[in-house]
């Protein structure tokens, strides 16, 4: 089965509304010829409306960085699926390691009490995924191991467990539309990159877990991105691997030329 590549830029906590508009203005002509790739940008909540307007007619799709699982209510600071849809959001990132309190670069002032603020777990990722699917959003579900987990030989088990936790109770018909993003936590924002063969292997672990749960046909339909210090100089090698169907890009997504080079490496 041929799977269309998806390159998504996670802007994290960067860019004001003016900066968001400027970045999209610079990016759009650089990826105009990449019709064979789904291109997504994921700004902060405050820039979503501006980005939605700037993206009109570009072919680039809008993503959000998180979502809550309730549609309305007394949930101060949360953002519902319907609110994202109202702004023209198509994709939503769910379960990013930073939302789970799992950081590639240790934050010296983030002790256990502070890390509790970043409270996503397999259970909340599962709730968010169900809510996103019910609303018609397209989820990008993040999985990945920390450096200590990798050193202890637990990378495969962690990724498989996170996939199972995210998909618990998800209807089989919804699975082919999902995107999984394998992001080794130790490679996010560190400049370290997982070797392309190993990245491909663990993306295969994620896919094999889907196969165990839903069968080979569903697993072949699911797109699995790689994320973790993806750059123009390693994009082509990563995107050429059989189990890697795109990239979830962090730092390089903040520069139009770099992000476009990654997109065009897969076009």
State the catalytic residues: 96, 183
Question: How far apart (Å, rounded) are the C-alpha atoms in residues 174 and 177?
Answer: 6
* Contact (Cβ atoms closer than 8 angstroms) between residue 240 and residue 201: no
């Amino acid at each position: 089965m041929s799977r269309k590549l998806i390159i998504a830029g996670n802007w994290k906590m960067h860019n004001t509304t003016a900066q968001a508009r400027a970045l999209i203005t610079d990016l759009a002509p650089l990826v105009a010829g990449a019709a064979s790739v789904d291109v997504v940008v994921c700004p902060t909540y405050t820039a979503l409306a501006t980005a939605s307007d700037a993206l009109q007619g570009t072919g680039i799709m809008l993503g959000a960085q998180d979502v809550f699982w309730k549609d309305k209510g007394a949930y101060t600071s949360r953002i519902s699926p319907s609110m994202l849809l109202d702004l023209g959001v198509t994709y939503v990132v769910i379960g990013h390691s930073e939302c789970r309190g799992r950081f590639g670069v240790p934050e010296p002032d983030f002790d256990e009490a502070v890390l509790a603020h970043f409270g996503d777990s397999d259970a909340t990722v599962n709730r968010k995924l169900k809510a996103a699917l019910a609303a018609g959003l397209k989820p990008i579900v993040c999985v990945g191991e920390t450096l200590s987990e990798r050193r202890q030989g637990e990378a495969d088990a962690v990724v498989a467990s996170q996939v199972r936790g995210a998909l618990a109770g998800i209807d089989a018909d919804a699975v082919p539309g999902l995107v999984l993003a394998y992001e080794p936590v130790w490679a996010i924002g560190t400049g370290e990159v997982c070797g392309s063969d190993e990245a491909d292997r663990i993306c295969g672990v994620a896919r094999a877990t889907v196969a165990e749960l839903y069968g080979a046909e569903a697993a072949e339909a699911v797109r699995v991105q790689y994320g973790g210090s993806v750059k123009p100089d390693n994009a082509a090698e990563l995107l050429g691997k059989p189990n890697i169907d795109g990239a979830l890009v962090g730092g390089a997504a903040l520069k139009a030329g770099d992000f476009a080079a990654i997109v065009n490496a897969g076009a």
